[in-house]
Amino acid sequence: MCNVLLAIPDKKERQYLKNIFTTNFFNVTFLPDVAHSDEAYRLIKQEDVDILILDLSPSADIAFQYKTKILKKQPNIKVILLDDQLNAHHLQTALRCGAIDYLVKPLQLTECQTAIHRAIVSLNQISLLYVDQTITGKEKRKNVHTMIQYIHQHYNEGISLEQLATSMHLHQSYVSRSFTEIVGMTFTQYLQYYRVEQAKKKLSSPQLSISEIAEQVGYSNSTYFSRVFKKATDLTPNQFRKTFEGKNTPADFQHIKQLLNA
């Protein structure tokens, strides 16, 4: 599940972005809308947020101050910044403070899609931006959305495709076919992928042992878990921990060169 918070004064812009999320992306939940950065900060003290889209207007200085406070509360939030017009100082500040992207109004569909896609992928979650929408009906997408929610809720248990189909009250072959068609990988592949990504997060902290992490992500045998993890990442869990302990996903600006050269 990807929790999204829109801190944007303009209702039309909020709805425009929500339409982009719901049309092109997957497994998204919207937190209550807020208009300004101070309201976003108050909400983030109470709710877990994965993606924050923050409008710098009317006061960029205040917005950047609250962005810093927000990241101290939840350092793994992916932030996309909006600005009324291109401002080199705002852009440089956004880059230094680790925003995913800096978008200038009027918002452009492709730029918004790309920024959101990058934020979702950097959270180690599936994005459907490049899935051919013509082959996926709304009902099928809704079913697969529910399937992914089930996996995210039960990934640390011994779940199977049969159990997933039973929980959905659907035929197993339909579940298998629909899942692969929309997500682009089989149920088993996605379950393994999600378990490994959850293990990566846990490995950034030294408090848990490898065997404890293995059990927490659904593997009763730590040796098998290490083998699966190495196959997926080319690193053993211990090697991954030593390499990435305490590190966050770096900022990644899609449009940085175009904006700086404008």
200 in the same domain as 154 = no
Exposed / middle / buried, residue 147 (Cβ in 10 Å: 0-12, 13-18, 19+): buried
CATH assignment of the domain containing 217: 1.10.10.60
Which pLDDT score is estimated for 217? 94
Q: Of 148, 169, 184, which residue is a domain's last?
A: 184
103 and 20 in one domain? yes
pLDDT of residue 223: 94
CATH of the domain at 114: 3.40.50.2300
192, 234: one domain: yes
> 259 lies in a domain?
no
CA distances for 55 relative to 78, 136, 140, 158, angstroms: 14, 33, 34, 43
Q: Do 191 and 178 lie in a common domain?
A: no
For residue 40 the two structure tokens come to: 């976003």
122 and 194 inside one domain: no
pLDDT at position 52, please?
96
Residue 23 maps to a domain: yes
* Domain presence at residue 258: no
CA 173/CA 179 separation, integer angstroms = 10
* 8 and 106 in a common domain: yes
Q: Is 13 in the same domain as 125?
A: yes
Residue 250 has what pLDDT? 39
Where the chain has pLDDT below 50, the residues are 248-262
Number of domains in the chain: 3
Question: Looking at the domain assignment, is residue 255 inside a domain?
Answer: no
The per-residue pLDDT for 193 is 84
Q: 159: closest CA among 175, 174, 177?
A: 175
Do residue 150 and residue 217 come from a single domain?
no
Q: Is residue 193 part of a domain?
A: yes
Instruction: Please tell me the predicted confidence (pLDDT) of residue 244.
Output: 67
Q: Residues 145, 122: one domain?
A: no
Residue 240: per-residue pLDDT = 85
Does 68 lie in the same domain as 41? yes
Same domain, residue pair 142 and 235: no
CA distance 239 to 189: 23
pLDDT at 248: 45
Structural domain span for residue 144: 131-184
For residue 178, what are its two tokens?
């629909």
- Output the pLDDT for position 204: 76
- Are 9 and 62 in the same domain? yes
Please answer whether residues 157 and 174 qualify as being in contact, where contact means their C-beta atoms are separated by less than 8 angstroms.
no
Q: pLDDT tens across 7-56, in order?
A: 999 999 999 999 998 877 767 889 999 999 999 999 999 998 999 999 99
